[in-house]
Structure 1
Amino acid sequence: MRITKSIALLGCLLYSNPGAARIPANDTLLARQLHPIGRTLLNTSKQLELVTSAAHFGVSFTGSTCTVYVKADNPDGYNYLQYELDGVYQKRIRVEGKPTAPIIINAPIGGKHQVWIYKATEAHTGALVFSKIVAGNIKALTVPLQPLIEFIGNSITCGAAADASEIPCGSGQYHDQHNAYKAYGPSVARMLYCNYIVSSVSGIGIYRTWNRESPNMPQVYDNLDFQVNSTRKWNHATYQPKIISIALGTNDLSHGDGSAREAFDSTRFISAYVQFIQHIKQYHPDAQIALLSSPMVKNAEGALLQRCLTAIKNQVDALYPSGKKVAVFFFTPLEPHGCTGHPDVADHQIMANELKPFFKRLLGS
């Protein structure tokens, strides 16, 4: 009897010992407890989906490791995340659709740390799906109270084809060279201590794509994932941007893939752009609209794009005489160094530096 009681007492002591638990409950942060920014979704399994370029969330933890349970939404595919550790950008990490192990983020030393995790790729690549984050004393970080800029655009705004540091241009899949974190929009927003969301689709324009007549941005903008036939709608009331930056036109002006293509129609372009801005203003009537040209569109076509953007500004200003005047920015032409004629990471930094005083002025107005 005494032996039995002793064994029972020892069992109770082991069970009640906090050190005996492999993962204490307060060291696990479930996906539903995170505070993301960007187009995101908490799915029916209570997993967090980061959908759009540079959608992100942050956590703080104590120790030297943070374990991230994440997968790509396509079981047969893969995706990429990228992260900051204690305010310093680290790297991209490939995320499998059928992961065999969680991703472990290592800090060089123990102590308290902050990690911000970003989706490196655009919405059409598929979502990153998070179930939980595990680390010592882990807590969800709230998004700082800062002005918000929304960046609407195409592959340039996505940061597509910008980063060949790991997989060279011309090899791998299209999204292997995506780097949304270092695209011009997120870069200039961080310079100005602003929050940001990126609403962009490779190849898209205001009335046509780079090689087809559709889909265009107005057709997909209201859909969570920018898929033309998507049934998942985006709730525009989720955020109230102070500035909405729109950079479209490169693909409308594109000569396509060599197949038959109608010449650029400036009248159609201007009309579609004005209607799109009117649509945006239904959701965000007080936001400052900023139209950006393209540093990739040069010479006669560059001048044509500038004339079109000026005409769009004038028409919208006339439609809303008491509203904020549309701002227009013309990039200095740039020779791109990324893949397939896109700007690389260094080019995006040049673009961000050029944009900084423009957005700084708009933020102060």
Structure 2
Amino acid sequence: MNATPRLLTAALVAIMLCLGCASSKRSSDKSATLSASDLQPYGRFAIDQYQRLEMISSAMHVGFSFNGPTCELYVSLPNATGHNYLQYELDGVYQKRIRISGESKEPIRLTAPTAGKHTVWLYKATEAHTGPIILAKITGTNIKPVREAKAPLIEFIGNSITCGAAADPSDVPCGSGQYHDQHNAYMAYGPRVARALATSFILSSVSGIGVYRNWNSNGPTMPAVYEKVDFQAGNTTTWNFSRFTPQVVSIALGTNDLSNGDGKRERLPFDSAAYVSKYVDFVNVVKSKYPGAQIALLSSPMINGNNRAKLQHCLTAVKERIDAAHSTDKPVAVYFFQPMQAHGCSGHPNVEDHAIMAQELLPFFKKLVNQTSR
């Protein structure tokens, strides 16, 4: 064989090798790893030293898309002996809660029923006090972060009811397991209202918490922990309030202030003057974080009789004082729930009760959102 055919053969082999490399690169590009730090979080969160996402607050959520049939979540817990819960929505349809064991080393696989592109919204089912869920990365095919459509934002501040605590005994019956085993933040009234109105939302809620006292202690109350990233009084890390600008801030605190306590610790009678004073101070703090927000005060569907009248009277007094002190701001809105017989664990609303509460609140929040969007 002379030199020319040998050169042509070598050239053809080189071209085929290059085409093979390009094809291999294209195939490899389809399979991707999405770092958790590249996601767009909604709710209280932190990025740790390893660029992992700490999902902190109730219903804190992130979105991503992938091409079917599966993707994998690499999650962990700071407590190897504990457990926690995620829940997710696939292509706009709620799926289920996922129990995460602190001992597990395997990724969580999400499966889609069909091929093609899918969108997942991943939520923390539990509240901040159960500890963070640490998301390191997500792997899949053509995986990309997803942001929520631009929409008004509602922040829901509250207690266990706002958390969706004790609402879902479908996996662990009431009276068994641990307190957070029945949490379902996705199905709580706030996220339901937000989804119905096509708004964004964040939850700032703590079980058992009140304005001037908690259900079985004198504190730390919501005014003492609201500025902490995880609502823990001992944490020196504060939340960066510039991350979100809610158009409406809903505050539902009072159930625990008015409670009779746990029967073990001394419980003084409800002090309406202390409640109103602390509530006014707290609303002023919230207004300092979000000067343009519409403030809305909610009563409690769990309180009936004389206590219901007391709470309504106190919330009206808070509104009057705030409106007088901020006469050029939007007047504070107030909503009084209809009394409810709760069907969840330990006297809390269950997921069906939360649906009723959300339906009751829809006209109220629709009006507020429409007014602030003009």
* 8 Å Cα contact 2:31/2:139 also seen in 1: no
The whole-number CA distance in structure 1 between the counterparts of 2:101 and 2:171 is 17
CA–CA distance in structure 2, aligned partners of residues 80 and 243 of structure 1: 28
> Pick from 282, 286, 289: which aligns with 2:292?
286
Give distance in 2, aligned partners of 1:294 and 1:312. 15
Q: Which runs of 5+ in 1 are unaligned?
A: none
The offset of 1:263, in angstroms, is 0.7
Match of 1:109 in 2: 114
Match of 2:103 among 79, 98, 105: 98
State the 1:283 CA deviation: 1.2
Runs of 4+, deviation exceeding 3 Å = 12-26
Aligned to 1:346: 352
Correspondence 1:334 to 2:343: no
Q: Which amino acid aligns with 1:39?
A: R
- For 1:294 and 1:83, locate their aligned partners in 2 and report how far apart those are by CA, in whole Å: 28
Amino acid at match of 2:311: L
* TM-score, L = length of structure 2: 0.92
- Identify which range, 84-93 or 27-36, moves more after superposition: 27-36
- How many Å apart are 1:75 and its aligned residue? 1.9
Query: Are the equivalent residues in 2 in contact too, given 1:14–1:20 (CA < 8 A)?
Result: no
- Aligned residue among 236, 239, 246 for 1:241: 246
1:36–1:143 Cα contact (<8 Å) kept? no
Contact 1:84–1:116 (CA<8 Å) still a contact in 2?
yes
Write the distance in 1 (CA, Å) between the matches of 2:246 and 2:26: 45
1:191 to 2:196 alignment: yes
Give the superposition deviation at 1:328.
0.3
- What is the one-letter code of the residue matched to 1:289? I
Residue 143 of structure 1: aligned partner: 148
Matched, 1:28 2:33: yes
Q: Pairwise mapping of residues 219-230 of structure 1 onto structure 2 (< 5 A)?
A: 219-230=224-235
**Aligned in 2, Cα 1:349/1:310: closer, same or farther, shift over 3 Å?**
same
Which residue of structure 2 lines up, in the alignment, with residue 304 of structure 1? 310
Structure 1 residue 98, shift from structure 2 partner: 2.8
- The residue identity in structure 1 corresponding to 2:85 is Y
Q: Select which of 163, 177, 188 maps to 2:168.
A: 163
The reply on whether 1:48 has 2:53 as its aligned counterpart is yes
Tell me, which stretches of 5 or more residues in structure 2 are unaligned? 1-9
SS of corresponding position for 1:156: helix
Identity of aligned residues (%): 55
Corresponding pairs, count:
360
Q: Is contact 2:30–2:141 with CA below 8 Å preserved after alignment?
A: no
Q: Distance in 1 between matches of 2:345 and 2:41?
A: 30
Q: Deviations over 1:257-302 (max 9, x none)?
A: 1132111100000000000001111111110000000000111101
Are 2:30 and 2:142, in contact at CA under 8 Å, matched by a contact in 1?
A: no
How big is the shift at 1:142? 1.2
